[in-house]
Structure 1
Amino acid sequence: MKERLKSLRREAGLTQADMARKMGITASAYGFWEQGRNEPDLKSATKLAEIFDVSTDYLLGRTNDRHRPYYELGTKDIKEIDALMKDLENQMDIGISFHGEPLDEQDREVLMQSIRTAIEINKQRAKEKYTPKKYRGDK
């Protein structure tokens, strides 16, 4: 990933400081990504892919095809999911139990992550299935 980030940034004629401003992080934090010392989280990787107009799979080195699929989740989708998860978490503060026993913090976190993953998969499948052909950008 570090090589792809460096290459894409240079192609775009941007400095690390420029990218840091676009990402809302420090220049050193962005530099750590290009050095391979740290990796961006899902939200940051999605934003990077949008900035460079490539797929997250390309950014992660999983494919050499730069084309970003129309059904890939964007930052708007991630923000919507974040808001939904925050609402759900607030509702869960009331208390949730399994077989009459309250969930401990670890079980609660596993449940929340499972729900988030299911929402992300379903949102992506819905985009795949219901996006009109004229907006798909198929080549």
Structure 2
Amino acid sequence: MKDIIRNKRIELGLGQGQLGQCLGISASAIGMYEQGRRMPTADDIPVLCKVLKITPNELFGWDKENTVSANNDVSKRIDTLEALVSELIEQISRK
């Protein structure tokens, strides 16, 4: 996230103070975001994304391919758990 904030800010020709002003925070807070010493608050993320002209997924470094892949992995694990639970229920009901 830190590099994304810095790179997009520079790409848009904004100083840390200007970006901070948009968010109602100090230039030093933006500097801390860019150094990875601090994270934007949940309230600041939508404004930050709007000012930097990026989506929250882009801000967090998530891309569609990785998100879809993670969702598929979760779905597979859920299917496995459901099968195990069904098997256990069947074993219990036989007793």
Please name the residue that 1:60 is paired with: 60
- 1:19 corresponds to 2:19: yes
- The percentage of counterpart residues that share the same residue type is 33
Asked if 1:36 corresponds to 2:36, the answer is yes
Is 2:7 the counterpart of 1:7? yes
For 1:18 and 1:63, the matched residues in 2 are separated by: 28
1:89-110: CA deviations, max 9, x gaps? xxxxxxxxxxxxxxxxxxxxxx
What do you get for the CA RMSD once the two structures are aligned?
Answer: 1.6
Residues 1-139 of structure 1: matches in 2 within 5 Å?
Answer: 1-63=1-63
TM-score normalised by length of structure 2:
0.64
Q: Deviations over 1:107-127 (max 9, x none)?
A: xxxxxxxxxxxxxxxxxxxxx
Structure 1 residue runs without a partner (length 5+): 65-139
- Structure 1 runs, 4 residues or longer, greater than 6 Å off: none
Deviation at residue 46 of structure 1 after TM alignment: 1.1
User: What secondary structure sits across from 2:34 in the alignment?
Assistant: helix
Bigger relative contact order, structure 1 or 2, given CA contacts below 8 A and separation 6+? 2
> Which structure would you say has the larger Rg?
2
Gaps of 5+ in 2: 65-95
| TM-score, length-scaled by structure 1 | 0.44
